[in-house]
Structure 1
Amino acid sequence: MGDVVVFFRCLANNMEAAVRSTRGCDSEQDSDSDNDFETSQLGTKEYWEDAYQKELETFKDIGDVGEIWFGEESMNRVLRWMDNAKIPEDAAILDIGTGNGAFLVEMAKHGYKNLTGIDYSPASVELAKSVLQAEGLTHVDVKELDFCHGGLEGYDLCVDKGTFDAISLNPDNTGGVKRLYVQALKASLKDQGLFSITSCNWTKEQLLERFKEGFEFVQELPTPTFQFGGKKGNSVTALIFKRIR
């Protein structure tokens, strides 16, 4: 049920963004606001710890890994880009907010060997480790870590599929948390390292504004579209950035 709520919140946020676009709102002011959307418990660690604790119990009971954030196509979309971009199999890859570890499993099955997943939820980390172990992928590293607090470095590729969305809804100092995220991302990536972000809360223009300092836009990945107010928009935004000095 929680994922259904997230979906409709995401869709509403994209429709809101489409309305702002049709009204000709100032892009920079709108994108860099510290109060872009209404905050929510969906942005708290407690919410996700509770959600993953339930998924962990379900996995232990019946072996169900739980929801795949944005669906399987969201993973396949990034994997196709990784193939086309010729990301080396030994590239150091960080999965930010790994959740149940589903994307780590898919990347490992795709041949990537140097994978790390992090999440600030202890239940998420236990669930991801359990899922990986069940798949025989015990070489994949999963750590309990709050990405915004930093401490990571040396990655060739960082992947975010919904984590920036979640922290953007944090009711406590949402603007500060978003800025900490960008700083942590800069520190985590090597020079010329790549960043893949999939979001349902943010438009392309807003993400370009948010990551304009220290990053270069590389490309937009094709995602589903919707019509609203005579305008066409994307229900999900997927962008690739490169870390620059």
Structure 2
Amino acid sequence: MAGAGEEPFAPSALGTRPQFGEESMVRIIRWLEKQQVPLDSSVLDIGTGNGVLLIELAKNGFTNLTGIDYSPSAIQLSEKVKEKEGMSNIKLLVEDFLTPSAELSGFQVCIDKGTFDAVSLNPEDAVGKRKQYVRSLCSVLKPEGFFLITSCNWTKEELLNEFREGFEILEELPTPKFCFGGRIGNSVTALVFQRKK
């Protein structure tokens, strides 16, 4: 509970983990710049949390930005961050991505930093919710649009399997490696998919 004069803080499900922080944002922005994705491309941040990724995208010249979160308090927080940064061109909406409104369609880029992980952890019908996530993604992302996902719960192979319907892998983005018991692995998986025509 926030004390007197303190701002209430409502982090998204996995938003406080360091691998979803600055390093993840830099990785996403670098990839978009390397691919020369036009700055006026419509970008959807799925599970925007405090909206910081959208702020960074705006600072890097992107102009058509939308952030959604099912949590009204997360959207209130991101509105405050947006106002403080003077970023009036960012649109923020309270939306459940598993049942997106008609307003959410035609995006050229969709970004997920931990929302698919949170959906996957739902104790009620996690498999059905993951399938619904993929259907929702197909409905909001244009054919040949890009989907960038950062996950700390899923391996590359598992994500390829989850998104095999309607998507093809373009690239695996480099993430920090660790060594345990003589084996090298990643604590985070970051992939770029493209929606099939």
Q: TM-score, normalised by structure 2?
A: 0.90
Residues 101-116 of structure 1 aligned to structure 2 (within 5 Å)? 101-116=51-66
* Selected match of 1:207 from 138, 146, 159: 159
Match of 2:183 in 1: 231
* Selected match of 2:6 from 58, 61, 67: 61
Name stretches of at least 5 consecutive residues in structure 2 with no aligned partner. none
Between structures 1 and 2, the one with greater strand share: 2
Measured in 1, the distance between the counterparts of 2:130 and 2:10 equals: 29
Q: 8 Å contact 2:47–2:115 — kept in the other structure?
A: yes
Q: CA deviation digits over 1:48-67, x for unaligned, max 9?
A: xxxxxx6xx58x73699976
Match of 1:179 in 2: 131
Measured in 2, the distance between the counterparts of 1:138 and 1:61 equals: 24
Letter in 2 for 1:61: E
Give the direction of change, closer, same or farther, for the CA distance of 1:65–1:169 in structure 2 (3 Å limit): closer
- The percent of aligned pairs where both chains have the same amino acid is 50
Q: CA deviation at 1:223?
A: 0.2
Measured in 2, the distance between the counterparts of 1:162 and 1:115 equals: 19
SS state of the match for residue 23, structure 2?
helix
Q: CA deviation at 1:231?
A: 2.2
Q: Which is higher, the Rg of structure 1 or of structure 2?
A: 1
Q: CA deviation at 1:86?
A: 0.6
Match of 2:122 in 1: 170
Of structures 1 and 2, the one scoring higher in RCO (CA 8 A, sep 6+) is: 1
2:99 is aligned with 1:149: yes
Q: CA deviation digits over 1:124-160, x for unaligned, max 9?
A: 0100011001100122100000001123210000000
Measured in 2, the distance between the counterparts of 1:236 and 1:194 equals: 19
Q: CA deviation at 1:167?
A: 1.0
SS state of the match for residue 105, structure 2?
coil
Measured in 1, the distance between the counterparts of 2:107 and 2:144 equals: 10
How many residue pairs end up in the alignment? 189
Give the direction of change, closer, same or farther, for the CA distance of 1:62–1:171 in structure 2 (3 Å limit): closer
Measured in 2, the distance between the counterparts of 1:86 and 1:64 equals: 35
Q: CA deviation digits over 1:82-140, x for unaligned, max 9?
A: 11011110000000000000101100101000000000000001000110011001221
2:82 is aligned with 1:132: yes
Letter in 1 for 2:163: F
SS state of the match for residue 45, structure 2?
strand
Letter in 2 for 1:212: R
Measured in 2, the distance between the counterparts of 1:210 and 1:126 equals: 32
Give the direction of change, closer, same or farther, for the CA distance of 1:93–1:177 in structure 2 (3 Å limit): same
Residues 13-52 of structure 1 aligned to structure 2 (within 5 Å)? none
Q: 8 Å contact 1:65–1:131 — kept in the other structure?
A: no
2:59 is aligned with 1:117: no
Q: CA deviation at 1:71?
A: 2.0
Q: 8 Å contact 1:68–1:102 — kept in the other structure?
A: no
Between structures 1 and 2, the one with greater helix share: 1
* Selected match of 1:195 from 141, 147, 157: 147
Superposed CA RMSD in Å reads: 1.9
Give the direction of change, closer, same or farther, for the CA distance of 1:65–1:213 in structure 2 (3 Å limit): closer
